């Protein structure tokens, strides 16, 4: 709980000295808490980038799977023309989505 209170006071602009006085904790302890908080923030930012890349990669893989299944539908002799046209339209939409932004 102490680290949470320190983090809260830091975000409100309190100095180490002010935090130490208000919480009645020695300043080296505040300094250690700040180091721990900053370390966790750095790790969180690094992990966020990795997670974001993983989601992006999985999305592209998912689009590839969808497109592959749609081509299977198109090439099937059992598929009627209306369904083939819808499948082609979906493939076009998938390619557009993968190129946007």
pLDDT, position 2: 73
Supply the DSSP string of the chain, one letter for each residue: -HHHHHHHHHHTT--HHHHHHHHT--HHHHHHHHHHHHHHHHHHHHHHHHHHHHHHHHHHHHHHHHHHHHHHHHH-TTS-HHHHHHHHHHHHHHHHHHH--
Distance (Å) of CA 80 to CA 75, 86, 88: 10, 10, 13
Q: In which region does residue 61 sit, left (phi positive, over 0), alpha (psi from -120 to 50) or beta (all else)? A: alpha
In total, how many domains does the chain have?
Answer: 1
Percent of the chain whose predicted confidence (pLDDT) is above 90: 25
pLDDT in tens, 49-72: 777 888 888 888 888 888 899 999
The model's pTM: 0.48
pLDDT in tens, 20-36: 898 888 888 888 888 88
Task: Please give the residue range of the domain that contains residue 13.
Answer: 2-99
> Are 63 and 93 a contacting pair, CB within 8 Å?
no
Q: Does the pLDDT of residue 47 top 70, yes or no?
A: yes
């Amino acid at each position: 709980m102490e680290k949470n209170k320190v983090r809260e006071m830091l975000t409100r602009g309190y100095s180490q000295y002010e935090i130490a006085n208000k919480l009645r904790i020695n300043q080296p302890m505040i300094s250690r808490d700040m180091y721990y908080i900053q370390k966790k923030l750095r790790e969180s930012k690094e992990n966020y980038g990795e997670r974001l890349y993983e989601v992006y990669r999985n999305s592209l893989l998912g689009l590839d799977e969808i497109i592959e299944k749609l081509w299977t539908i198109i090439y099937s002799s059992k598929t009627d023309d209306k369904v083939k046209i819808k499948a082609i339209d979906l493939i076009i939409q998938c390619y557009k989505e993968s190129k946007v932004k």
